[in-house]
């Protein structure tokens, strides 16, 4: 059985868990990281020397890094659907996975940490304002890309929607000013209609 280490409040774990739920895979998730600890134990370090979550063990095959795990599970269990057969469609999906990590995360992380995990009296308003402005510009790029398609790589959900979908849930859940993003909002509404997204991603932001 597929085993997954990681707390369900972690955005990186949520990417994997949404994928697993979407695919209907039998699995066991073990709380690790954050308040659960365990990532510094010898047993875990043998699995993942980075001491981070998530990590999976799929019948003896150990893998870490959330996007690598999402790609692996989609390729193994959803070829032609979440893992597109068409190389160009797959590259398009892959592009949005990397865009989320290289463009959205550096702006979202400081805003999230300041508003969610920092006491109000210790917050940095300038850092928040800069991140919010960056996110508005970045999500405008996604809004333009979604003008002629239902999902990031075309007409159906692919692996490309998973990381940025998790980030968008956090973005819309933050008490900040959000620009008008009609195409992103329509795409996000489609995500919220998926049971796997509601179960594994739409939870309190902590």
What are the boundaries of each domain within the chain? 2-77, 87-199
Beta carbons of 140 and 181 less than 8 angstroms apart: yes
Q: What pLDDT shows up at residue 5?
A: 98
Give me the residues of the chain with pLDDT under 50, please.
none
Q: What pLDDT shows up at residue 25?
A: 98
**Nearest to residue 103, comparing CAs of 139, 128, 53?**
139
Note the pLDDT tens digit of each residue in 136-163: 999 999 999 999 999 999 999 999 999 9
CA angle 191, 137, 71 (to 5 degrees): 45
| Matching CATH number, 2-77, of 3.40.50.1000, 3.40.30.10, 3.40.50.720, 3.40.50.150 | 3.40.30.10
Q: What pLDDT shows up at residue 111?
A: 98
**Nearest to residue 84, comparing CAs of 75, 97, 73?**
75
Phi, psi of 64 (to 5 degrees): -130, 175
DSSP code, position 103: I
Q: What pLDDT shows up at residue 144?
A: 98
- How far is the C-alpha of 75 from the C-alpha of 81, rounded, in Å? 9
| Matching CATH number, 87-199, of 1.20.1050.10, 3.90.870.10, 1.10.110.30, 3.40.50.1100 | 1.20.1050.10
Kind plus residue range of the DSSP H or E element containing 56: strand 55-58
**Nearest to residue 169, comparing CAs of 199, 146, 141, 140?**
199
Beta carbons of 108 and 133 less than 8 angstroms apart: no
């Amino acid at each position: 059985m597929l085993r997954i280490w990681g707390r369900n409040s972690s955005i990186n774990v949520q990417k994997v868990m949404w994928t697993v739920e979407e695919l209907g895979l039998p699995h066991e998730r073990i709380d690790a990281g954050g308040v659960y600890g365990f990532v510094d134990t010898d047993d875990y370090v043998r699995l993942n020397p980075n001491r981070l979550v998530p990590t999976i063990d799929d019948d003896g095959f150990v893998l870490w890094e959330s996007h690598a795990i999402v790609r692996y599970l989609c390729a193994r269990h959803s070829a032609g659907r979440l893992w597109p057969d068409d190389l160009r469609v797959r590259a398009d999906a892959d592009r949005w996975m990397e865009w989320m990590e290289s463009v959205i995360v550096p702006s979202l992380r400081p805003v999230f940490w300041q508003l969610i995990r920092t006491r109000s009296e210790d917050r940095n308003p300038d850092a928040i304002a800069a991140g919010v402005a960056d996110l508005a510009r970045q999500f405008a790029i996604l809004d333009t890309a979604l003008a002629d398609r239902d999902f990031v790589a075309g007409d159906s959900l692919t692996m490309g929607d998973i990381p940025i979908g998790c980030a968008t849930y956090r973005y819309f859940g933050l008490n900040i000013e959000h620009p008008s993003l009609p195409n992103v909002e329509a795409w996000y509404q489609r995500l919220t209609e998926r049971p796997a997204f509601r179960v594994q991603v739409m939870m309190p932001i902590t």
